[in-house]
A = this chain, B = another copy of it.
Amino acid sequence: MYRDNPLKQLSWEDYQKLSVNERAPLFLRNEKPYHALFAQQYNRPIVERVCELATRIRKIAKTRGGMRFLQDLLAEKRAMLYFSQPSTRTFLSFYASCQILGIKTAEVRDTATSSEIKGESQEDSVRTFSSYFDLLIMRHPTKGFAERIAWLLSNSERPVPVMNAGSGADQHPTQALLDMYTLQRSFEKRGGIDGKHIAFVGDLARGRTVRSLAALLRHFDGVKAYFVAPDALQIGSDILQVLDEAGMEYEVTTEFQPVIPQADAIYMTRIQDEWDQAQESRLLDTSNYHFTVDDLAKLKSDAIIMHPLPRRSEIDPEVDRDPRAMYWRQVRNGMWVRTALICTTFDRDNEVDRYYEDLIR
């Protein structure tokens, strides 16, 4: 059993000595995720519960009355979106989630606020911002900063929950959850995620998306991953080790075409050349890792195509019209998953359940 605020009983030094698996339970309240910081916090029951809740919220939202119910659910709360790195997509998704639940939002998006110019520490700045709000949603360039703030606030008079909307190069947990939700929805009538073949294509060396998603897929049975990339952008051995430990099957290859007919889901990614040190990926010919209209014929009739977006030329816009193209729905799934997570954090998920049960009765 986890106590009300286990972080309060730990010094920052002691916290840092813990492994990621030891840290995970510290962010629960009533066995539900309170802070949302890294993908490893979510085991299979939590992932499945978030997906169930997202679906219920999505269905409730279809009517005017349902929307009113949702907007009343957390109407007394206020959220601060503190994005010190640029992001429009994730920002708007969280923003819309808050609005769906009636949460009032405020934002700080400048990297250089006046107070930092005045010599204030980042910790003091964030603590000030959070003084006025009940929820802190944050993106920050420093690895682990969201955890640091969750610890700091837990040791203050206002231990408000923290949601990590991307920190450093390593974690983007809500992206991983929305990908899981997209898989779960798409395979709902085909036995769920268990046993599916999922191909990751493109830039697998960089990009926290694939990294976080792999950490969640290992909780499911019989999933097989294909890592399809040129050698220079292939998946890291650290992730393969995690999969090995979990006993998850995978294949590493440079050849995209043979994988297409075998996949249940093809997860396309963008070449993240903003991380290049000497234009190395710009010099690569990555056109073999594009999904074209011609590839549609090779794809299983019930497979899906995913992409975290933004895209460049990895997927031809003509593909968008195919019903297997799932990336636009994936965008919207993000909003529902984040809405579900916020409900859970504030322990109002049971109110959603009750409304939903009345609805389907």
Contact = CB atoms under 8 A, between A and B. Distances in A.
Nearest to A72: B68
Interface size class of A (residues with CB under 8 A): 35 or more
Contacts of A96: 78, 106, 132-133
B99 A115 contact: no
Nearest to A112: B86
Contacts of A110: 88
Nearest to A272: B118
A91 to B, nearest CB: 9
A128 interface: yes
B312 A119 contact: yes
Interface string A14-49: 000000000000000000000000000000000000
Given A92-B106, A92-B108, A131-B332, 20 more contacts: A67-B75, A67-B76, A68-B75, A71-B76, A78-B96, A86-B117, A88-B110, A88-B113, A88-B114, A88-B115, A89-B128, A92-B128, A93-B132, A117-B274, A120-B312, A124-B310, A125-B310, A132-B331, A132-B332, A157-B329
Interface string A114-139: 11011111011101110111000000
A211 interface: no
A335 interface: yes
Interface of A: 64, 67-68, 71, 75-76, 78, 80, 86-89, 92-93, 95-96, 99-100, 104, 106, 108, 110, 113-115, 117-121, 123-125, 127-129, 131-133, 156-158, 270, 274, 309-312, 317, 328-329, 331-332, 335
Contacts of A108: 88, 92
Given A115-B310, A120-B312, A124-B309, A129 B78 contact: no
In this complex, the member of A87, A117, A309 whose beta carbon has the largest number of chain B beta carbons within 10 angstroms is: A309
Nearest to A271: B119
Nearest to A274: B118
Contact of A328 (B68, B131, B274, B328): B131
A115 B89 contact: yes
Contacts of A331: 128, 131-132
B87 A124 contact: no
A127 B108 CA distance: 24
Given A114-B87, A120-B310, A99 B78 contact: yes
Nearest to A100: B78
A335 B125 CA distance: 16
In this complex, the member of A86, A123, A125 whose beta carbon has the largest number of chain B beta carbons within 10 angstroms is: A86
Contacts of A129: 88, 92
Contacts of A88: 108, 110, 113-115, 125, 128-129
Contacts of A93: 132
